């Protein structure tokens, strides 16, 4: 489908779904569960999935009261710190999965998932990541639970192991076409191992997520530093997304995929992690994708969103031209990806330390 103008307002989410894009809530935490907010978002069709991260949980434990009762019970039982963090995360994951179970059932497992990072010590190796992911999935004990793993070498190794065991994965922090190609290869290999083990491939979902706002921010910063081409600011993420979407289409056209599809596998979906960036929801539209956004962004999209139809299919030529222009102006996409991956690793470490630190304080208190 080509670009076109559609009506704005409450109809925009239905238009997104018609274009094959699922809106997800990014930033899940306990108070969104206890207040009924997630229930209302799901019932109103605004959230067809949800995801969170340890940084969000750390902020909520530190500044809110929604975890107080469970933390009190854990403290009375002298539960170790790591076990306590796992208990908090598993409770949120189970509860959110139950809230989204109707969507999961209505879409026959296409939507209705909840993803969460496995509970690991900062800097865990591939084996530790895989073990923690399996433990979290087992603790959740829900068919619509996904484990979230970083698109690093260790994270991808852990993702492949999870897929081979029939556990759905959400790979995050994909900042380049080259890294996405690695993700696809790991996905194929994991499903092939699962097939060889006799597992049902139709119930092993997978997401591959790009932090589009962060890609633009890093590229735009380099343009500003070079004092070059201000008109190109805000174009890097769209170019990368279009090239990744082209790779997505090529992967689903491969002989390797046809064999897996014949065995019941479902396509891995692309996720645009847009946060609060409503313009990204409007500009990243194509079949088989997910837009993960904050609660505020979901409301803003409903109120003033405006779509232009499919913006990614068949746009790889324009994307290559945009990349070439940016490269000429001093934006190295390889360096952008390298910087963002390093920043993501630091963020993961600091988020887990913050979560463990604040949970430890609450247990002692």
pLDDT digits (tens, 9 = 90+) for 132-155: 999 999 999 999 999 999 999 999
Q: Could you say which of 48, 113, 137, 148 is catalytic?
A: 148
What's the pLDDT at 124?
A: 66
Angle at 278 between CA 240 and CA 205, to 5 degrees: 60
Tell me the two tokens of residue 175: 């900042």
Catalytic residue status for 346? no
Contact 334, 40 (CB under 8 A): no
The pLDDT mean for the chain works out to 94
What residue has token string 């809230």?
99
Tell me the two tokens of residue 33: 């569960």
Number of Cα atoms under 13 Å in the Cβ half of residue 330: 13
Alpha carbon distance 136, 262 (integer Å): 30
Alpha carbon distance 203, 200 (integer Å): 6
Question: For the whole prediction, is pTM greater than 0.85?
Answer: yes
What's the pLDDT at 10?
A: 56
- DSSP state at residue 110: S
Alpha carbon distance 306, 318 (integer Å): 22
User: Across the 365 residues of the chain, what is the mean pLDDT of every consecutive 10-residue run?
Assistant: 42 90 96 96 94 94 93 96 95 98 97 95 80 95 97 96 98 97 98 98 98 97 93 96 98 97 98 91 96 94 89 97 96 97 93 95 92
What's the pLDDT at 287?
A: 96
What's the pLDDT at 299?
A: 92
Nearest to residue 129, comparing CAs of 154, 152, 164?
A: 154
Contact 3, 309 (CB under 8 A): yes
Contact 183, 148 (CB under 8 A): no
CA quadruple 149, 135, 360, 365: dihedral sign: positive
Alpha carbon distance 208, 28 (integer Å): 19
Nearest to residue 308, comparing CAs of 57, 65, 15?
A: 15
What's the pLDDT at 9?
A: 42
What's the pLDDT at 122?
A: 63
Alpha helices in the chain (DSSP H): 12-18, 30-34, 37-43, 54-63, 68-76, 81-106, 126-140, 153-164, 177-196, 212-226, 236-252, 255-262, 278-283, 295-304, 316-328, 333-364
Contact 142, 98 (CB under 8 A): yes
What residue has token string 């997978």?
206
What's the pLDDT at 1?
A: 37
Burial class (CB in 10 A: 0-12, 13-18, 19+), 52: buried
What's the pLDDT at 6?
A: 38
Alpha carbon distance 261, 264 (integer Å): 5
């Amino acid at each position: 489908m080509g670009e076109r103008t559609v009506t704005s307002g409450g109809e925009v989410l239905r238009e997104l779904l018609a274009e094959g894009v699922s809106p997800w809530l990014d930033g899940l935490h306990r108070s969104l569960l206890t207040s009924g907010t997630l229930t209302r978002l799901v019932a109103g069709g605004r959230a067809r999935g949800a995801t969170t991260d340890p940084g969000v949980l750390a902020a909520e434990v530190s500044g809110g009261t929604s975890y107080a009762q469970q933390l009190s019970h854990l403290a009375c039982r002298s539960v170790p710190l790591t076990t306590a963090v796992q208990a908090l995360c598993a409770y949120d994951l189970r509860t959110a999965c139950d809230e989204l179970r109707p969507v999961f059932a209505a879409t026959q497992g296409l939507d209705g998932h909840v993803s969460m990072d496995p509970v690991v010590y900062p800097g865990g190796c591939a084996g530790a990541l895989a073990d923690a992911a399996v433990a979290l999935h087992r603790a959740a004990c829900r068919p619509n639970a996904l484990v979230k793993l970083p698109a690093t070498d260790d994270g991808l190794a852990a993702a492949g192991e999870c897929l081979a065991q029939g556990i759905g994965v959400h790979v995050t922090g994909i900042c380049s076409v080259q890294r996405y190609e690695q993700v696809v290869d790991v996905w194929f290999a994991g499903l092939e191992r699962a097939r060889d083990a006799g597992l049902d491939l139709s119930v092993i979902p997978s997401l591959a997520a790009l932090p589009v706002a962060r890609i633009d921010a890093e590229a735009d910063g380099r343009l500003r530093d070079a004092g070059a081409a201000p008109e190109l600011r805000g174009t890097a993420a769209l170019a990368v997304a279009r090239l990744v979407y082209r790779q997505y289409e090529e992967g689903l056209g491969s002989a390797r995929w046809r064999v897996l599809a014949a065995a019941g596998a479902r396509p891995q979906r692309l996720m645009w992690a847009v946060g609060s960036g409503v313009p990204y929801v409007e500009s990243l539209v194509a079949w088989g994708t997910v837009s993960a956004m904050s609660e505020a962004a979901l409301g803003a999209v409903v109120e003033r969103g405006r779509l232009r139809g499919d913006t990614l299919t068949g746009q790889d030529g324009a994307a290559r031209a945009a990349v070439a222009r940016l490269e000429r102006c001093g934006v190295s996409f390889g360096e952008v990806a390298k910087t963002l991956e390093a920043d993501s690793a630091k963020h993961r470490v600091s988020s887990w330390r913050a979560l463990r630190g604040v949970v430890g304080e609450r247990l002692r208190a």
